[in-house]
Amino acid sequence: MYQTLFRPILFRLYRGDAEAAHEAVLTLLATISSSRAMTRALDQLFAFSRPELERQLFGLRFPNPLGLAAGMDKDGLALPAWAALGFGFVEVGTVTAQAQPGNPRPRLFRLPADEALINRMGFNNHGAQALATRLKQLRQRPIPIGISIGKAKATPPEQAVSDYIAALHLLFDDADYIAINVSSPNTPGLRTLQDRAQLDSLLTALQHENQRLAANRGLKPRPLLVKIAPDLDDAPLLELLAICTSHQVAGLIAVNTTLGRAELRHSDPELAAETGGLSGRPLAARARAVVRLLAAESGGRMPIIGVGGISSPTEALQLLEAGASLLQIYTALVYQGPGLPRQIKRAMLP
């Protein structure tokens, strides 16, 4: 019904403004989240749970392995609704220490022929403090909540550490895990933080602050995960893995959006040439290759959240077979609708 009725209406209403469609859906889900009755109704329609789907990772319990990727709900506006839709965890953000508007609109583009999106959002968010306040007001947290943090656009890469530290300080109490985004292509200089020296400095500072906050507040250190780009060659990927391992990073998130366009087959060339990161079905093969490489090199000892190109249960299973411990989706929801999480979870059952 979503693909034959609701998606065509939504795409027609917001033909030239994909971000407006995103905002409309998020507003609806935020409204549902504000009502226990509506949240329960959503749960009855879409949720699907089985004990066999539960996972234990990073010292956390995940009701199932399928999560919502960062970017869909940056400011955590609809968390109860995502749980009701059947996700096993949610990653909010990417947020920065201070609020910022992001890049000028238009900055989100649909490529329906390839079931893909191009975005150049630029970490538009209300800031770490606003997110922390919202998370403290949640009535309950039925699923783990990860928080993706990044540097502000105006912050030079050489001063990025202070941005990440400030965000970690503000969000430490309310995060089940912290995702360190050093791989978005839409913030100038951000991807240089994947280089050996800069990543080493960043992880050293973040782990030190993580331990300090935990000791001062009588809490456990938060699992730190690093989100990586799909556009790195094998050698830099393996170097990044070695650095993360040496800093006792809890896991990797593979992969972010790509600057490549080679896998686009059917989209209008002018639209495909829009600046930004590509997500969706064309990213599937590269995401599997990166996950497979990292899982093999680490001997399965580095947990990986696989994300990128999952548009069906088949692609979800393939990413698990490549070595992912957990999965995330985002773009597929735009094209396949809210029934997709249940389909994927059914396929995961023995």
Q: Tell me: the pLDDT tens digits for 331-346?
A: 999 999 999 999 999 9
Q: According to the model, what pLDDT value does residue 96 have?
A: 98
Band the pLDDT of 5: cuts 50, 70, 90.
confident
Catalytic: 184?
yes
Q: Tell me: the pLDDT tens digits for 210-252?
A: 999 999 999 999 999 999 999 999 999 999 999 999 999 999 9
Q: According to the model, what pLDDT value does residue 8 have?
A: 87
Q: According to the model, what pLDDT value does residue 266 have?
A: 87
Q: Is pLDDT above 90 for 52?
A: yes
Band the pLDDT of 130: cuts 50, 70, 90.
very high
CATH for 2-348 is: 3.20.20.70
Among residues 162, 165, 164, which one has the least CA distance to residue 182? 164
Q: According to the model, what pLDDT value does residue 241 have?
A: 98
Q: Is pLDDT above 80 for 314?
A: yes
Q: According to the model, what pLDDT value does residue 54 have?
A: 98
Q: Tell me: the pLDDT tens digits for 140-191?
A: 899 999 999 999 999 998 899 999 999 999 999 999 999 999 999 999 999 9
Q: Is pLDDT above 90 for 13?
A: no
Q: According to the model, what pLDDT value does residue 344 have?
A: 98
Write down the catalytic residue from 33, 148, 183, 184.
184
- Compute the mean pLDDT over every residue in the chain, rounded to the nearest whole number: 96
Q: Is pLDDT above 80 for 82?
A: yes
What predicted TM-score, i.e. pTM, was given to this entire model? 0.96
